Structures are given as structure tokens and as C-alpha cells.
Structure 1
Amino acid sequence: MKQHTIVVIPGDGIGREITAAAVRVLDAVAAKLGLQLNYQWRDAGGAAIDAVGEPLPTETVAAAMAADAVLLGAVGGPKWDNVEANLRPEQAILGLRKALKLYANLRPIRVPAALADASPLKRQAIDGLDLLIVRELVGGIYFGPKQEATLVDGVLQASDLEIYQEPEVARIVKLACEAAQLRRQSVTSVDKANVLASSRLWRKTAEKVSAAYPDVALSHLYVDNCAMQLILKPRQFDVIVTSNLFGDILSDEAAVLTGSIGMLPSASIGEGTSLYEPIHGSAPDIAGQGIANPLGTILSAALLLRYSLDCAAGAELIEAAVDKTLAQGYRTADLCQPGTTKVSTEEMTSRVLENLA
């Protein structure tokens, strides 16, 4: 039986706690389905800065490129806020995306029935929500030329340049259309074409690519309107495809619709090894307290099984176990409400493991 190698990068803050939880769940699924999993633990982010003086060691990159999948916790924290820009922990994420050629981030936003009342929106607006945000990952303003603050005519000035090329837009829209074919055949492309030249190229390219998918309905929204519609009428969306910056912002907004950003997984895919991570941050204020929500990372492990190990059965086992655990009323502190049972990171993981059985 083939042995699958998974590189685990805990990162910073709560990263070690939540990745440990996800590995426990992966091991349980592996035992149940007869998978052979081999883990390699590597540093990145602030932990790597402390250990070797850089956020993304070459050995971490090499291990990731040779692995079947990468499971990441989170990076960053106030401890490293004042380091040089090229040494910030977040450079580890950008570096991994570039090295692994991860051009697309898939962020499923789904509200289990048990969490409908945890959302800040009314149940009738949120019940049954199931959308997918497809975010472009390696282009746009995050990777464009930057000018740190310098004096220009006696005034500090800084700049970041948004650049997109047609092939970059085409491949992400193509992926979104293919995802929609397996869902409800609807893609909403989000841009700011009334102001930005890069968005006008984005919209023109989206129209061109979508023509090859006559079974998929393509529509367009300006990013500000999309942000509003996610609150007013979130169930209108099936697949949203957008740029790096807009996708970063909109997916965090959409995550809150589930009641907690701690619930949301993501998959970054491209030409090399795929990377899986929860979309929340490192939460250094609660690190080490045993209260972090591990479900976003556990659900990221489910995506890892589905996309990288071609094990849909394992992914479905995890997702069903998480839904059952929530239906039983167990909640970490971020989701706890009257009538539910507050549990620790460890206890939540144990409940999911019980329901896997």
C-alpha cells in the first residue's frame, strides 16, 4: 500500500495545538480506511525566525515540494511585528505559495444546521448556506512591486502595485467554472472594473473563459456590492471567483457567517503540492490555553484527503463527524451559547474522534 507523506507546519500561536488535533483525526481515518500516512514536521513563520533567523527555511520548502500534501497551522504574532518586511512571518505563506505554484485558494463556506443560530445573521437568511470562494493566490497587489515609505517632496509615501496578466486570470476562472459544474452551475466574478484597469482585464478575461462553459451561468459584481450581498442575501451565491486581495477580504467576511472564523478550512492548489490550512490567524492571545477551535484545521484535513490523497470517503467521514459533534451541542469558547456545552481544544477533538468511530 502506498505511503503518503504529509508535511505538517504548526507555525505560531495556536498552530501547534490545532495541527496536533488534525493529525489525531487523520490518524483515526487512516486506521479506519487502511491508509499509510507519514508525517514530517517543519518550521515556518515566527518559529522559524526564532530558530534559524528566517521565516521560510530552505529545508521546509524542499520537504513541502517532495510531499503529497502540506498541513499548515498559522503564522505570525506581535512578537515579530517590528522585524524587517522581508523577514515577517507572513513571508512564509507567500513563499510557500510561490514555491509550490499554488495559484488557487478554495474556501468552502458551509453552515451546518447546528450552527445556524450561531451566525450573526437570522436563521432564515443563513440556514443551508453552501458557497465556495475561489481566490487567486499568486498575482495581484500582494506580489506586485512595492515601495516602502520614503520621503517624496518632504512627505512620506508608499505604494503597492496591482498587476494581473490574462493567463493568471484565465486559469483561476477556468477552475471556478469547473468547480461550479460539480455544484449549482453558477459563478459570480468579483472585481472593481468601474475603477481599476486590472479589474477590467479580469472581467474581459472571465467573459472569454466562461464562453467555453455554456452550462455555467457567469455574473459580475463589484467588490463593494458583493460584500453587501454576502450579508443581505448570502444564499444567492454558488461559486465566487476573485482576485487575491478581494478574495482575502471577502472570504474572511463570509467566514463569520458560520458563527466563527475558527470553523473555516481552505485548500490551496496549483501545479505542485497542495497546502491545507484554516483561514483564521495564529491567535497568540489564546495560545497555550487549550481553548482554540480545532475544527477549521480538522476540516482542512478533510480537504487534504479529498484533493491530495484522492480519499473522498475519508473526507466525508471527518465532515460527518464534525457535523454530528456540533449537533450534540459541543462548542469551543468562540461558538459557545446558552444550551451548548463548552469544551476545550482537546475535548472537541476527542468528541470528533468518538463520532468517527
Structure 2
Amino acid sequence: MRKLCVIPGDGIGVDVTPVAVAALRILLPDLQVVEAQAGWGCFVEHGCAVPERTLELMRDCGAGLFGAVQSPAHAVPGYRSAILTLRQQLDLSVNLRPVRSWPGISPRPGVDLLILRENSEGLYIGREHMASPDQAIAERQISRQACETLAQRAAEVARQRRSKRITLVHKANVLPLTCGLFRDTCRAVLEEQGLGEQVDERLVDVAALQLVEQPQNFDLLVTTNLFGDILSDLASYWSGGLATAPSLNWGKGIALAEPVHGSAPDIAGSGRANPIAALLSAALLLRHHWQLEEEATCLESAVERFLNDAQGLDHGTQTTERVAQGVLTRLDLLHR
């Protein structure tokens, strides 16, 4: 029996996670679901953004679905982003972000790329200090072990996708130690895996330009934490924007699916939140964590059919319930 820990989080996370859970129940009728707390609201109520009980439930289930996180724009004593805490405490060291063209919402056909991002270190380790009243300093950490883990996952995904091109994205011309270690370690692992001929490189600024100009030319991009965060948000434009962007936080024997959109507190509870990112995140959980390719494809096909049938409709009228019913009805038919 498979287990799933659902962490709605803040804002519209509460609105979209039930839709993804309903889809997973169609595909996995015996799925056991437990719910846990995390996020800004949890911190306000309990003084802790990620309770130890939530970490225990995630470890027990091995699979999770996160809704959305709301963080203050200024430092709050004792608070650290719930999703960053979950990634680091559960060693979810790789982040997977697919970008593909979808009918009706993508501005260009033929885009099908995937960004693998190191998920545990870089500038996101949270080491900042005031060197003086007028100077703040942040540390960037790149380790050989984290780069090797990322590259090994890249090799796994490249074989699964039958990738013809693996692009290492860095800034080693300016950061020769940190980015140099990343580049050289990843390249060495990929060569050991027999994938050296598929590997090329891009400086991050060039990669950003080319993702805007020629996204269809990319296949699998592998990069560091901050660069991957920015590039994957940029690239999501080609798949309809952040409202439809899925992701998977991926560790060894544990994974946490996470729609990329924010908590959108202005529409929380209004029935206007788009659940497609949560649905597609659940598909990533099926494919990469549970190794259920057929079920993952089935869920993605249901989303694609709904979007194809919905072309020409006013997407401003596509409420959470309408999208949910549209996708779930098609999923039920496909899965029979």
C-alpha cells in the first residue's frame, strides 16, 4: 500500500491539493493519505514552520504533496521558509522542473525540456551576516557530493527521456571555484555513465537568453540551486506560466511534489485557484518516485485533453471546481 503525506500549506495550497489527491485516488485506489501542517500559518499558530511531526509523517510515507508556502518579505525571528526546511531536513537534494507546450495555454508548440536543479545548497543554505552596518554578506556552498548526486539523477532522467542533449549551466568564468567544481564534477559523473557525448555547457546568462529565444532547442538542463530557481521560472512561460508549473523535490527513497505557484492569498478560498500545477506535480510523483509511468502518462493525458477541449473558452471563468471536474472526468475515462 502506498502512502501520501499531504501538506496543504498556505493560501491556495488548501484549494489545489484536494484536486491532486482526488486524481491520485483514481489511479491508486488503495492510496493511504495523511495530512500534516507546515508554512507561515503554522508558524503563526504554533511558532514553528515545520513541526517535527510533519517530518516524521513524511519519512514514514516516503511521498508527499505540498500545496504552497507564504513567507514574509522581511526577516522574522525564528522563521525559515517551510519548503526550504523540508528540502534540507529530508535531504530532498534534487529539484525536477519540466516545461512543455500545452494546448491552449502555451505561446509556442514543440517545447519539451526539463530542468534538474541542485536543491540543498548554493546560496540557499541561509548563511548571511552583517559584516558592518553597511555591508551584508551571503555564503554560497557547492559540494562535490551534492553535485555527484545531481549528476547521477541527471543520468537516470536522461536515459528515461532518451535525451540527446544535457546542458550544464554555470558561471565558472566569474565563479571558478564554486561553479568550476559543479561543472567538472557533473561532467565527470556523466562521462562515467557513458553520456559524455551528450553533454554541453552554457553560461547562465547565455542560457537565459536562449531559453527566451529558442526553448525548443533544449532538452535536459542541469544547474545549481539559485540559477535553476530563476531559469525554471523563466522557462515556465512556455508552458503557460507558474500557474501550471509542476515540480518534484527528489531524495533517496523520498519525494515531495510541489506546484511552483505561490500561495496567492488574494484568491485563497475564492474557488479561482488553478489546480493544474498540483495535478502535474502529482504526475511527477507517479513517474519518478513510484515508478508508475503508465499512470503518470494517463494523468498528463487527462490534463492535455481538458486543455485541448477548453480551447476558445474564457480561462477567466475556469474555476477550481470546473478544471478539477474536467480533468478528473477525463482521467476516470482514460483509466478504465
TM-score w.r.t. length of structure 1: 0.87
| Structure 1: gaps spanning 5 or more residues | 120-125, 331-336
1:303 aligns with 2:290: no
Distance 1:338 1:319 in 2: 20
Q: Render the CA deviation track for 1:279-322: whole Å, top value 9, x for unaligned.
A: 11111122121111100001111112222333222212211110
2:155 match:
177
2:173 match:
194
Kindly tell me the number of residue pairs found equivalent between the two proteins: 329
1:162 aligns with 2:140: yes
For residues 1-357 of structure 1, the aligned pairs below 5 Å read: 3-30=1-28, 35-77=29-71, 80-82=72-74, 84-88=76-80, 90=81, 92-116=82-106, 119=107, 126-143=108-125, 145-147=127-129, 149=130, 152=132, 155-183=133-161, 184-196=163-175, 197-215=177-195, 216-329=197-310, 342-356=317-331, 357=333
SS at match of 1:219: strand
SS at match of 2:92: coil
Distance 1:108 1:4 in 2: 24
Distance 1:83 1:211 in 2: 43
The letter of the residue matching 1:99 is: Q
Distance 1:276 1:39 in 2: 14
SS at match of 2:267: coil
The letter of the residue matching 1:256 is: Y
The letter of the residue matching 1:212 is: E
SS at match of 1:159: strand
Distance 2:291 2:272 in 1: 32
Q: Render the CA deviation track for 1:207-250: whole Å, top value 9, x for unaligned.
A: 32222233451111110110000011111111000000100000
Distance 2:43 2:267 in 1: 21
Residue identity over aligned pairs, in percent, reads 37
Q: Is the 8 A contact 1:100 1:272 kept in 2?
A: no
Distance 1:295 1:159 in 2: 39
Question: 1:166 deviation in Å?
Answer: 1.5
The letter of the residue matching 2:34 is: Q
**Alignment RMSD:** 1.9
